[in-house]
Chains A and B, each alone.
Chain A
Amino acid sequence: MPLKPVLTANWADERAWTLAAYTAGGGYQALDKALAMSPEDVVETVKASGLRGRGGAGFPTGMKWGFLPPPDSADPHGGKPRYLVVNADESEPGTCKDIPLMMASPHTLIEGVIISSYAIKARHAFIYVRGEVLHVIRRLQAAVAEAYAAGHLGTDIHGTGYDLELVVHAGAGAYICGEETALLDSLEGRRGQPRLRPPFPAVAGLYASPTVINNAESIATVPAIVKNGADWFAGMGTEKSAGVGIFSLSGHVTRPGQYEAPLGITLRELLELAGGVRAGHRLKFWTPGGSSTPLFTDEHLDVPLDFESVAAAGSMLGTRALQIFDETVCVVRAVLRWTEFYKHESCGKCTPCREGTWWLAQVLARLEQGQGSEADLDLLLDQCDNILGRSFCALGDGATSPITSSIQYFRQEYVDHLTHGGCPFDPAASTLFGQEVRA
């Protein structure tokens, strides 16, 4: 299966981030096409394309847009204002696609924001980008300013009478703000803690108004769909997982990086393109969609990376964040570190996650040091059982994924820590500069 650059196609262009380069490559043509359509037709086009959310959950984007309540006919202003919020808080360990997208071609996202806002009849949109990526924020701010100056944003866009304001909003370091309702609280100037649903954001989102919140890659895909048509997009990928997506290969591969391909490609195919696992080593375990998706092993090289196939194999496609670990990596160390991450990032709102992630980290740390007993593995699984499905949001669920899957596939490796009296692995062997570390 070949690669298919769509979103990544212009990343190597000279000064790709500028309006001039983007326009020269055909940018903002989709906006003209969309503005000539009715908003409803744009929604229908996105529905028909089969685009599903690229932020991990895979919810159909057009359907999400369709959940907005119809404008209030009794109110001359049509009722409460509607908002579009872009989730560019990319923080899931392993996920690294939206950041290079916004760095290289911020206008792709901005054109998507304008078309999507027009489709859902929003007059105010926000890009919530994590704060820890300074140059990406610079590029977004500059691109938005260029788009205003060119008349793509502001009042009476392209003479159609449509008005849109777009604000680039920098976060301040909190993984939980990638959860859509926590993001909305954060955007309202509060601690980023998730909200009870229902009501869903489509009904009561930002400022309790109807709000669509989509991942940056999802919104950035909209211009290509409008430009090339729903059939073009639906014709790629699989029947239920349409289109292309950016696959991010990282870790022990020869050529880590971004590989844009139709959904349904396999890790075996991607690894072949990326030059394989680093020389002299073999695949041990990997994440299909970030650290919150259950681990896969070399048994899963041929699982088609689409939503259905990955779920059927016991994990989740997530954000297509393929973190590759070879045989030098201790799975217990890897899982402990992820668990410490979830513990640190738990927002504290609900007890199962706040307390549970602390207990998980303590028991795992004990095991990693070769202390405790084999019964601790059952204790861990019991703790996971008390967190999964009992937490307020998906952060708690995600925290259990690496633990349960690693015990499923590598139980013996946990036991080896106990018999060995500590970690049997040499941490220098997994680094890219073993000689420098050992010296």
Chain B
Amino acid sequence: MSIEEKTYAELREIAARYPEPRSGLLPMLHLVQAAEGCITPDGIDACAQVLGLTAAEVSGVATFYTMYKRHRVGDFHVGVCTNTLCAVMGGDAIFERLKDHLGVGNDEVAPKRQGDQYSVSVEHIECNAACDYAPVVMVNWEFLDNQTPDSTVRTVEALRAGHAVTSTRGPRICTWREAERVLAGFNDGRADEGPAAGPASLAGLKLHATRAEIEELTQLIDAPRQGLGLEGGND
């Protein structure tokens, strides 16, 4: 399947965002994944043509980064964090259970069963900057915080059945190819979905509010005594 003219136009549009067009290569490769479902030889050729590079030069970049896939992933790509902190708090158990449940190995696609709306794939991922919500699972790079093996299996089954699944700290989860389009810089207008912050992000702030209220009360209580000069030498 060759690259459509619309995609070529968008690849050129990405390159034009930068003072030097080659800077657009990473988002362009994200767009190739949105259009093609993974990094294909045609997609590599298209990027090379737009940027005046050789296919080998583009390929050399594409193979360096783990988000670029040289084979198809599922409509919903599930990443289980198995870096140390998530792993010991349950990530390893989630990953094992998920592989077992789906009957696949790392970075493999579970075959779509009869009646499934969507396919899922699974891989173990490195730290995704959400350690205060460990164990963390990502679906198409949206956060699923504080997961357990059971909750992850339930999510995966809901996704396969075509039910809407919402990130614990974000929007309704879109397909992998739709997600790749956003990464290429084409916003899907859904920034307003989901909360500003999850509970752990607000842990200190909430505590501060309580403490401030306590301090304010303490000051009110202490004020008369201080006024009488009974308390001295406070720093």
Contact = CB atoms under 8 A, between A and B. Distances in A.
Nearest to A344: B126
A406 B103 CA distance: 36
Given A94-B127, A341-B126, 13 more contacts: A13-B196, A16-B196, A81-B19, A135-B142, A172-B66, A188-B22, A190-B22, A325-B85, A345-B126, A430-B89, A433-B148, A433-B149, A437-B90
Interface string B188-207: 10111110111111111111
Interface string A4-44: 11001101110111100000000000000000000000000
Interface string B30-53: 100000000000000000000100
Given A3-B208, A135-B171, A256-B203, A341 B83 contact: yes
Nearest to B190: A138
Interface residues of B, number: 82
26 contacts: A13-B196, A90-B129, A91-B127, A93-B127, A93-B131, A96-B132, A103-B197, A132-B128, A133-B143, A135-B193, A142-B191, A170-B26, A171-B65, A171-B67, A172-B65, A172-B67, A186-B26, A187-B23, A190-B25, A256-B132, A256-B203, A258-B203, A321-B131, A325-B88, A334-B84, A437-B93
A251 B201 contact: no
Contacts of A13: 196
Given A133-B141, A207-B20, A259-B204, A173 B134 contact: no
A377 to B, nearest CB: 20
A17 B183 CA distance: 19
A334 B64 contact: no
A273 B193 CA distance: 31
A238 B69 CA distance: 47
Interface string A95-113: 1101110011100000000
Contact of A251 (B65, B89, B167, B187): B89
Given A131-B141, A257-B202, A104 B191 contact: no
Nearest to A105: B196
Interface of B: 17-20, 22-27, 29-30, 51, 60-61, 64-68, 79, 82-85, 87-90, 92-93, 125-135, 138, 140-143, 146, 148-150, 167, 169-171, 179, 182-185, 187-188, 190-194, 196-208, 211, 215
B90 A207 contact: no
Contacts of A323: 84-85, 131
Contact of B25 (A2, A135, A189): A189
Nearest to B189: A142
By Cβ-Cβ distance, the 3 closest A-B pairs, closest first, are: A257-B203, A189-B25, A259-B204
